[in-house]
Structure formats: structure tokens, C-alpha cells
Structure 1
Amino acid sequence: MSEANPLPNPQKHLFIHQTPAAASSSTEAKNDDQTGMTKLPNGVVLDKDGKPCRLCTSAASWRNLTKQAKAQGAAPALASATTSSTTTTSTFSSPFTSPLAPAVTTTTDDCPPDVEALGRSTWTLLHSLTASYPAQASQEQQGEMRSFLKIFSRIYPCWVCADDFRTWMAHPSGRNEPRLAGRSDFGTWMCEAHNEVNRKLGKKEFDCQFWEERWRTGWKDGRCD
């Protein structure tokens, strides 16, 4: 899959908000054919067809790729892909960071999402699903959500993030299997999945005992009323 604020710490995925430089290095041999560039900027992730994957790459890395393409006169379509992209400084509510967290740089709303914007929106959706989940789910409801998570983890636009989420859920111990008996278990499980991201990014983890206040009922101090 928010949301966790993006940090300039390109580690592993699971709906991350930065992409790993290592992901581009393994395919550098293809770069001459696909992009006309001898080496991709750090943080650029290639799609499975060997072309740069915008939905897998941060806005900053994508801009560097565009600048490099322009400078080398390569891939005109790629070079113009982000010419209209600008950045704005804004703050947004995050369940996994302090409300006093510093402002972060994000892409404008009218530009295609990068991996960071996609991740924030995804976590909002997933946590909202847990908030609306039945307190006690029927076998049919559990089956539907299990099917959704399985399909979701395969069609998520950032393919490296999707792969990582599937790997996490399929831990050999079984400890990360979705807990779908009811809202409480499901919400805690989703919070744990999100905290896995925070650990990988070196971020502060969210106290999962408060997930319902953040995503369902609102904070007891009335700030959401």
C-alpha cells in the first residue's frame, strides 16, 4: 500500500514511498536499448518490459530521469513525460507519524501519481476497508476479502510493491496471513502490514491499539469532529 510520510531512504517496498536504487542496477544492461541512456538515475525502477516504471518510481527520481534524457537527447517521449510536473510543499494527516511532522514535497494533484502518491492513496483505501469491515464477518465476507487481497496483491500498479506484499503475506510461519474474522483483527493486521513499511524505512511505528480512532471513530480529543 499513508499514511507514512515519504522519506529519502530508498529501501524495500510493500507500498513504499521511495524506490530502491538497486532495482535499476540489475537491468542497466538493457538501458541502451530501452532508453538510450548508459545508466539510469538512482531510484528509477524498470517495469517488467525493461522500460522505466513511473508508478514504481518517486517523483524526484523520475524528474532526474527526464533531465538525463533531455541532456542526452534520448527518448523524446520520456523526456517530455514530466515537463509539466511540479512540486508543492504540503502537510497531510498521517496515522504513522507525529501530527507535528515536517512538511513533505509531493507532486501536484493534476499530474500522474508517482510511487509515493500511489502508496498514500492505497493505504487510505486499505485502512478504510478495515474500518468498514463487519465487527463479526460471515464466511462469505471473509472469503470475499481474502479474494480481494489476493487479487489486489497481483494487480497493484507498482509491481515490485505488489511482489513484496505477496511475499510478506506468504511468510512460511503463517504469521502474516490476513486475519479476517472481524473488524478488530482485520484492522490490527492491516496496521501491522503498514508498520512493516515503517520498519523498512526506519520510521516510527504506529501504536495499533489506536487504529480505530485514526481510521474509524475519530480521535477522542475531538479534532476530527
Structure 2
Amino acid sequence: MSDADTPGRGDAPSPGRRTLPLLGPDAERTPRGGRAERADAARNRRRILAAAADLIAARGVGALSMDEVARAAGVGVGTVYRRFGDRAGLLYAVLDDRERRFQAAFLQGPPPLGPGAEPLDRVRAFLHALADRTDEQLDLLVMAEADSPDARFDDGSYEVYRTHLETLIARVRPSADAAYIADALLAPLAANLLRHQRRTRGMSLERVKAGLDDLVAGLAAP
């Protein structure tokens, strides 16, 4: 499967398990019922998600409330509840919004993260970008991965990551077990491990990326 062939799926988030859209950069989420989203509703959604993301960054996941998000977004709290159901639904939607932009960047964006660069450079750029993406929403991702022992692997996002890396690895080294190596390169970026490294062991993000570079260098070895 090529990068451009990665399948997509999407629907409005629910208060249960996370559902990731896997769409292109300009696609808008279609609400339940299949009707296109009105322009004013789309604006409100973007304002709510931006407000929630800012509040989480400033105060952490535990301090987030629907009332505060509504005030920060300049909408009624009823609008937030109608759109996202409850606090869990809003948190997953914040994850989905960031994930959508991340996937658009590595599937369709400029090189070296997007198409156009050498495969090895794209592998390195992808892992660096994924480290940034995971660190940016670390508490939310830990919460999502805690849904079940297999939550990380059940997400559509993990399959997209793995397929993307497997495709690039096969181009770098056709004789390699690309599927296994893709899993091995993704393993260090599990949210709970990265949180332990960053907050318990005091590792900088630069150190994490340097370690990833050492792993990627093995692909280029004779």
C-alpha cells in the first residue's frame, strides 16, 4: 500500500472509545445523520476545540470543564454538550483534531515529512514528528491508551503509522522484515513510556529524538 492509498474513516466522536478520522487536511467532520456541517457549526467546532486544547495545555486534562471551554470559545455551554456529548467526548475530539492535522502532514504535506524526500529521511522525519505530536498531548494519549490493554493497537491511527513506516522501510531495505521493524520503531513512542521518560527520568525531547535517530541509522547499515 502506498502512502496515498492509506484508507480513511471518520464520524463524530462519541463519549466511548476514540475514533480517528484519518482524513486529508481540508476535510471536515460530517455529523451523525450524514448531512454536511453548516459553516457556523464548523466555526463553533473549531473554536471549541481550539479553546479546549489551549486550556489543557495551560492547566492539564484534570482541570478541564465544559463550562470553561464554552466561556473560552465564546459559545453557550449547551452548544458544547450538544456537539460533543460530555467531557470524555470533547477530550477525544481534541485528540482527533490534532491527529487529523498530523496525518495530513505526513501523507500529503511537504518533505521531508511528506512525499518527495528519500525514504530514510522520511522515516526519521516521521518519528521526530510523532515524538512531538505525542509529547504535545501526552496526558490525553495516556488516557486513551488506558482504555484497554490493546487500545493503542485498536486505534486506526496505529495502523496508519505502521503501514506508512512499513512502506518506507521496504524501500530502504527490501530484504528486511518491514512489518516487524515498523512496530519496533513505534514502540518507543507509546504515550506511557514517553511520559515516564520525560517526567520521571527527566529526558529531553531532543534526547528522545536522538535515540530514535540511532535506531533509524541501523536501517542504512550494510
- Regarding TM over 0.5, the answer is no
Give the TM-score normalised by the residue count of structure 1.
0.31
Does 1 or 2 have the higher relative contact order (CA < 8 Å, sep 6+)? 1
Give the TM-score normalised by the residue count of structure 2.
0.31
